[in-house]
Amino acid sequence: MHRDGIGALAGLAAAAVAVGASELVAALLRPSASPLLSVASLVIDLTPPGVKDAVIGLFGTGDKAFLVVVLLVVLAAAAAGAGVLEARRAPAGRLLTVALAVGAAVAVVTRTGASPLDVVPTLVAALGAVVVLGRLTRPLREPGGAGPSRRALLLGAGVWAGLGIVAAAGAEAMQAPARRAAAAIARIRLPRPVSPVGPLPAGAQLDVPDLAPLITPTPDFYRIDIALSPPQLDPATWALQVTGEVERPLTLTYAELAGMPTRESRTTIMCVSNEVGGDLIGSAVWQGIPIRDVLELARPRAGADMVLSSGADGFSASTPLSALTDPGREALLAIGMNGEVLPELHGFPVRMIVPGLYGFVSATKWLTRLEVTRFDAATAYWTTRGYSAKAPIKVGSRIDVPDRAISAGVVTVAGVAWAQHTGIARVQLQVDDGPWRDCELSTEVTPDLWRQWRFRWTATTGTHQVRVRATDRHGLVQTARMQGVAPDGATGLHTVTLHVP
Ligand SMILES: Nc1nc2c(c(=O)[nH]1)N[C@H]1C(S)=C(S)[C@@H](COP(=O)(O)O)O[C@H]1N2
Ligand SMILES: [Mo]
């Protein structure tokens, strides 16, 4: 076989190994770190708009697939060229391979949100390609060698290329569920709620820089769960089972559930693991089906007092049945968050939201099952791990500002306070050992949503301790007694030390 032919074959096999190995490593580490996709993304960035439009006009939504195919053809040509080069003047082909990998690495690290570690798949690709290219062309460099036998070369190149293709197929298979889920989310249109929340009342939001906004933007919303990566559920096959102590066990598909009347609520949810002053708390506009409507269809039997809800990740929560059937409490099977389809991280396709209860006893994400049962008959995930079976959210408050250096004079101290489902009656601030003084409160939207507060403090030179406490509608004053998060939520007053020069 001709030297150039040997080289070209070796180059193609090396490219197959590079693509397969890097796709597999990227699928395991971080799909966006794929050198192939990063180069495609760079090409899109560099393509003039006119050309882009023409390609989209020709291929429609297949434009990305078209680009990847073009890149693979270009890569094959470059790889064959590198192989020929290697066969003629080793190690020139391997050097060219390294240069191509450096180019790919540049594409990877210049993607938005990329981290330096994202070059790992590209390094693996470069290493794989260099080793395979070197091995397959080695017989050409052996002294007096007549080159490899045709059979040996075809076999070697075939095995390497086959391994590369198998790895690429494996990577593709690994990512298929995520891609299907993303495509499914993109196709969903939320129904129109029968009771939309409407605009915020005047005064609901205080105008204080750096104060937590009344509604937490979804990208800033805290995330707590036992899932390593969010379960990828396909709404086409997802179903909710309602079982246990019910007259009529039932199964609802996503379409059936989303076809029921939906309501919107502004509700603050919170993690039991939130330390005093912590940020494992957030507020969103949730759209969903009242849980009582679904339970009504199943008809719980007398004697049941709990609903054990299960998520696809193995999590379960025990929620008092009464909290879910109470017409005065907007407990939802949420399918929407802040006007968008419920994101994967927050429980797509369906999660529970129950005002007034910590997330671990109420806010099951990736919901698959509601089992009507009794507290003395079933135990939830965290309850077997040292947490309570029942856990209403405790009245609380937090200081958000000032969060930077201040100077003497009038300073705005501000934060949030919550007493979900009961409502906040008052928030007070204490400086050092001074009296508790009332803060200005934002207009209440619902008792289920936190309120903002602010206080104009005349700061004097020195070091000061500023602490906050809230009182709920029942007159319960937030306790100063310090308690850790287990078994049912931390207590204590958020206190910040301010240095006034
Ligand atoms: N399936 C599932 N749902 C879950 C959890 C979980 O681990 N798995 N964690 C719960 C806890 S402890 C909290 S505080 C909330 C957090 O919801 P978020 O991640 O949307 O903020 O989800 C709850 N729902
Ligand atoms: Mo939590």
pLDDT tens digits, one per residue of 188-229: 999 999 999 999 999 999 999 999 999 999 999 999 999 888
pLDDT at site 230: 86
Q: How far apart are the first and last CA of the chain?
A: 83
Domains and CATH numbers, the chain: 3-180 (no CATH), 218-385 (3.90.420.10), 396-500 (2.60.40.650)
Bridge partners (DSSP) listed for residue 369: 241, 310
Question: Which atom in ligand 1 lies closest to the alpha carbon of residue 314?
Answer: 1
Looking at all shown ligands, the one closest to residue 283's CA atom is 1
490 and 484 Cβ atoms separated by less than 8 Å: yes
Distance from Cα 464 to the centre of ligand 1, integer Å: 37
Residues less than 5 Å from ion ligand 2, measured at CB: 224, 271, 359-360
pLDDT at site 169: 95
Cβ-based neighbours of 299, under 8 Å, separated by 6 or more: 246, 247, 248
Looking at all shown ligands, the one closest to residue 227's CA atom is 1
Residue nearest to atom 14 of ligand 1 (CA): 271
Task: For residue 122, name the pLDDT band (cuts at 50, 70, 90).
Answer: very high
Taking phi over 0 as left and psi of -120 to 50 as alpha, with beta for the rest, 113 belongs to: left
Residue nearest to atom 24 of ligand 1 (CA): 364
Question: Which atom in ligand 1 lies closest to the alpha carbon of residue 222?
Answer: 21
Q: Is the pLDDT of residue 62 over 90?
A: no
pLDDT digits (tens, 9 = 90+) for 358-403: 999 999 999 999 999 999 999 999 999 999 999 999 999 999 999 8
Structure tokens given for 187: 């196709």
Question: Which atom in ligand 1 lies closest to the alpha carbon of residue 346?
Answer: 20
Distance from Cα 201 to the centre of ligand 1, integer Å: 30
Residue ranges around ligand 1 (CB below 6 Å): 221-227, 271, 311, 313, 315, 346, 359-360, 363-366
Question: Which atom in ligand 1 lies closest to the alpha carbon of residue 226?
Answer: 7
Average pLDDT, the chain: 94
d(CA 23, CA 25): 6
Q: Name the residue of 315, 337, 354, 384 whose CB sits within 8 Å of the most ligand 1 atoms, as the mutation to test its pocket.
A: 315
Distance from Cα 345 to the centre of ligand 1, integer Å: 9
Looking at all shown ligands, the one closest to residue 267's CA atom is 1
Phi, psi for residue 126 in degrees, rounded to 5? -65, -45
Question: 3-state DSSP call for residue 218?
Answer: helix
- CA distances, 413 to each of 21, 450, 498 (Å): 54, 17, 11
Question: Which atom in ligand 1 lies closest to the alpha carbon of residue 367?
Answer: 1
Task: For residue 64, name the pLDDT band (cuts at 50, 70, 90).
Answer: confident
351 and 227 Cβ atoms separated by less than 8 Å: no
Sheet with 440-441: strands ordered across: 396-401, 409-418, 451-459, 440-441
